[in-house]
Amino acid sequence: MRRSARIFATVAVTGLAVSACGGNASGGSDGGSSSGDTLVIGVDLPLQGASKDASESTVNAMQLYLDQTGSKAGKYKVKLKVYDDSTAAKGAWDDATCAKNAQDHVGNTAEVAVMGTYNSGCAKIIAPVLNQDPSGPMLMVSHANTNPGLTKAWDPGEPEKYFPSGKRNYARVIATDDYQGAAGAQFAAKDLGVKKCYVLNDNQTYGQGVGKAFEEAAKKQGIDVLGNQAWDAKQPNYTGLFTSIKASNPDCVYLAGVFDNNGGQLVKDKVKVLGDNSKVKLLAPDGFSGYPEFDGLAQAQGAYITFAGLTASTLREEGGPGADLLDAYKKKYGADPATSYALYAVEALQVILQAIEKSDGTRKSVNEQVFSGSGISIPAAESIVGKKLDIDTETGDVSVLDMSVLQVVNKEEKFLKPWPLS
């Protein structure tokens, strides 16, 4: 898209280097070997495909915040190095690319922490590698990973298998899918009056997890879950899939996955076979949020999305650091970030910067600031999300749990209401 290309060109001239897989782990301008007390924070995101706009605005927001803070954390100078964990061929995050990025993060000796990833499946590949770094573990803080298993018991062996050293090195600043799936199901039952819902998942870590959480909570709400099956992202159309679903007469379809996985065609065929979203409700988790391509679809209008945090519009209304950053962003780029997760990336950056400030500048010490002692605590007056934020030193989970319900109206994601979490 022309808009995203213009935005990222602006990032490039600030000194950030964008490398397809992390690229060269040495050299000056690419954020590799640095002189003096300059430390590098890796930023690991999918920069190709449907996630492009969201990822580019995320990098822009982080760099803007870093510029505002003088690119410093205590006595250390700090800069970002951007890694692309997607491929052009796949148009989304890629297992092999995530694995290569993990090695590149460790190999870049100036790098002390990683902000990312966007996709939980990619995080599950990178986190164990960073955990075994002989000079670490190396800290990883995600703004968008919602799969519960990264920090707490979920699937067999989780989360211990991501921390082979026996020490934690992964944290996040948003709520998890056990909360998000439940919120979606509660909203469907209580606000929309849904009685029968069919769950489709994208057969990936995130989609399977949030689909499982939605299904379990939906049953508790009295919703008849008609099925939970995977959609194949490589299919040219899904008319046959929805024709088979139509026979069970659902009044709701829940798309548990990410829009990157052929979500556009899936939504088009849902409406083609089952009817528009006023007839058969369409619900999705945050894997469908922040995609202009999805928001612009005629067939997406009226769809509901849960978002595991507060939206940019909410943060602007509440004032404070988040609103100030949004105003500065809009002044520079002419619009708000393409995704509200861009603000959570800045929140994750705040966690990393505080850890660096308290550390001796080594990977091991940076990680220890998060997972030992007094840990990381960001006062409400400084926090981008406007609330006091603490990272649990045992698990890496965040103390602030928010959930928003959005609806696609006039090709935009409109904030509908907050959803209480328990």
pLDDT one-digit tens code per residue, 218-277: 999 999 999 999 999 999 999 999 999 999 999 999 999 999 999 999 999 999 999 999
Residues of the chain with pLDDT under 70: 1-36, 422
Q: Which residues of 28-63 are buried (b: 16+ CB within 10 A; e: fewer)?
A: eebbbebeeebbbbbbbbbbbbbbbbbbbbbbbbbb
d(CA 337, CA 343): 8
SS3 state of residue 87: strand
Report if pTM > 0.85.
Answer: yes
Q: What is the pLDDT of residue 46?
A: 98
Digit-coded pLDDT (tens) for 326-374: 999 999 999 999 999 999 999 999 999 999 999 999 999 999 999 999 9
Q: What is the pLDDT of residue 94?
A: 97
Phi and psi angles of residue 7, each rounded to the nearest 5 degrees, phi first? -60, -45
Q: How far apart are the first and last CA of the chain?
A: 40
Q: What is the pLDDT of residue 32?
A: 37
Phi and psi angles of residue 191, each rounded to the nearest 5 degrees, phi first? -95, -35
Give Dmax (Cα) for the chain: 67
